[in-house]
Chains A and B, each alone.
Chain A
């Protein structure tokens, strides 16, 4: 184990896979000379050279589409979209091309692609640089969607994503890049589609994603002092969703709160809540609650932005509500 930041853990995963497989290459804006705007690809150009670490012009359609095409032709691209908000510029290449080629061709194509992107609010980056758009990708058959919350998960999941033969959208909350944690050294994988119970508890299940996981854990700590046992489940992969782990937890606690930073309406929490309602209704002792962002773009000004992002206190309040405290 080594202590490292989330950004360094991702960097480590790139290095391990690029050393192991000569067909893995990195492509995106400012990934080479600059080392990635959040520092994730730092030093890769120096180690692997220009053929494998490719700075691109500001042309998301071209380089994301190029990654899809290169994947179809036998390479394993890791493309970096600086902010997930820019997906609008290049969406066709990922959702109509990359995600559907295999199916449309009757199973005759393989698209081993990772599209990494930063997401999330909290740094005053305003409406076009702060969104959580995981629900958009969750609506596309053919994609996988990953959203880690710890450095160790980030590393293990990225390695698995690179080795996966499908297009994987890998979402990195920008507030997590500087967070530190214990990370296994060398090759280590975390399987896609497997949730992780981040804290055990008996009274309420809180399913939380990305930057909401540390907040849910902090809320759980506060609630423990009030005598409420909270189990925090991090799906880690949203598509495919690990229904089994979530259902097992709900069947134990009989209560569910779903927390995410994406807007609540038609957000990822709706899918999780519906799945539990369909498959474990009889186990529920209280209505399922969702804690998520209000239905607005992300505002710039700090007091507005803080009001937009679900807080530890709002999570704790929702938990108190479902236990009737």
Chain B
């Protein structure tokens, strides 16, 4: 199941787009243009890009509080996402949700989530709906190393395994849940080992290696599509920035951060693509320029869009 050249270029473009989006979001947050909480995905791009490269529009994903990368990878629109971060009416949620609740139900993106461990049961539900309706679509659940300890996560994995649901659980092990390191929060070295309790196939991969993520995901998605049940994929990665923007992150050493920055997934993939002859330097420059223009356009769109009217507060509560 090795990845095609075309998909490699797409995945690379996605990763650069996520990074560019996040860097702009960080800057705009610092300038006070984005209210609330913003959790950035910098350093973890290969996970969402690699997994979503195996999906189609009709598949589902559940995301987390750190959801920008998931939305971009699943094909979401950066304009509407940036507008949502700004709280504008043109945003994905008409300004009602913000960064922590961006969603695009037309692309199967069942929402970023403010509740750690909120997503796994929803993914089981989406998987069940696919099975029930006789569709061969799947649901992918992104969740963190912190979320891996929540009861809801274990309950959802158990249910998905018992019912052989078409779900892929993708653990983003970035080593921390806010200040709590994974070594203090769980007693297993590999989160993948938890799948044994559910008799679920599992694999632990280098989450900063796009190809490794893609390979594991395509196998798991294929298994889910043919009705053989769920898989757990643990992607070992690292968040390069604080937990949220404004977090001084004093709980980890500068050496550790530097060590992981050296393993940054984007230059790593870029180098590989150059070596493989999939991309040349000028094509890379072109991709980067195209992505930058797209994100800058998104920022302009967000800045120029109107704020919602206060009368909209009570709209959308019920169907």
- Over the window 9-46 of chain A, the binary record of Cβ atoms lying under 8 Å from chain B Cβ atoms (1 yes, 0 no) is 00000000000000000000110011001000000000
How far is B4's CA from A266's CA once the two chains are assembled, in angstroms? 58
Contact between A126 and B36, CB atoms less than 8 A apart: yes
- Over the window 196-226 of chain A, the binary record of Cβ atoms lying under 8 Å from chain B Cβ atoms (1 yes, 0 no) is 0000000000000000000000000000000
Tally chain B residues at the interface, Cβ within 8 Å: 41
- Over the window 177-189 of chain B, the binary record of Cβ atoms lying under 8 Å from chain A Cβ atoms (1 yes, 0 no) is 1111000111000
Say yes or no: A126-B151 contact (C-beta < 8 A), given A55-B184, A303-B309. no
Contact between A128 and B100, CB atoms less than 8 A apart: yes
Contact between B116 and A300, CB atoms less than 8 A apart: no
Interface residues on A, range: 35 or more
Residue from A56, A89, A124, A307 within 8 A of B313 (CB atoms): A307
Interface flag for B115 (CB, 8 Å): yes
User: From residue 215 to 270 of chain B, which have CB atoms closer than 8 A to chain A?
Assistant: 251
Interface flag for B149 (CB, 8 Å): yes
B-chain residues with CB within 8 Å of residue A126 when the two chains form the complex: 36, 96-98, 100-101, 114
* Nearest Cβ on chain B to A125's Cβ, whole angstroms: 6
Say yes or no: A301-B251 contact (C-beta < 8 A), given A124-B36, A124-B87. no
How far is B312's CA from A300's CA once the two chains are assembled, in angstroms? 12
- Over the window 31-45 of chain B, the binary record of Cβ atoms lying under 8 Å from chain A Cβ atoms (1 yes, 0 no) is 000011100000000
User: From residue 98 to 134 of chain B, which have CB atoms closer than 8 A to chain A?
Assistant: 98, 100-101, 113-118
Say yes or no: A295-B314 contact (C-beta < 8 A), given A124-B98, A128-B100, A128-B114. yes
One of A57-65, A141-149, A312-320 at the interface: A57-65
Interface flag for A274 (CB, 8 Å): no
Contact between A58 and B147, CB atoms less than 8 A apart: yes
B-chain residues with CB within 8 Å of residue A59 when the two chains form the complex: 149-151
A-chain residues with CB within 8 Å of residue B88 when the two chains form the complex: 301
Interface flag for B1 (CB, 8 Å): no
Interface flag for B201 (CB, 8 Å): no
Q: List 15 A-B contacts (CB under 8 A).
A: A29-B177, A34-B179, A89-B151, A123-B36, A124-B36, A126-B36, A126-B100, A126-B114, A127-B96, A127-B101, A127-B114, A128-B113, A129-B114, A296-B313, A301-B35
Task: Mark A residues whose CB is within 8 Å of B.
Answer: 29-30, 33-34, 37, 55-59, 61-62, 85-86, 88-89, 123-129, 294-297, 299-304, 306-308
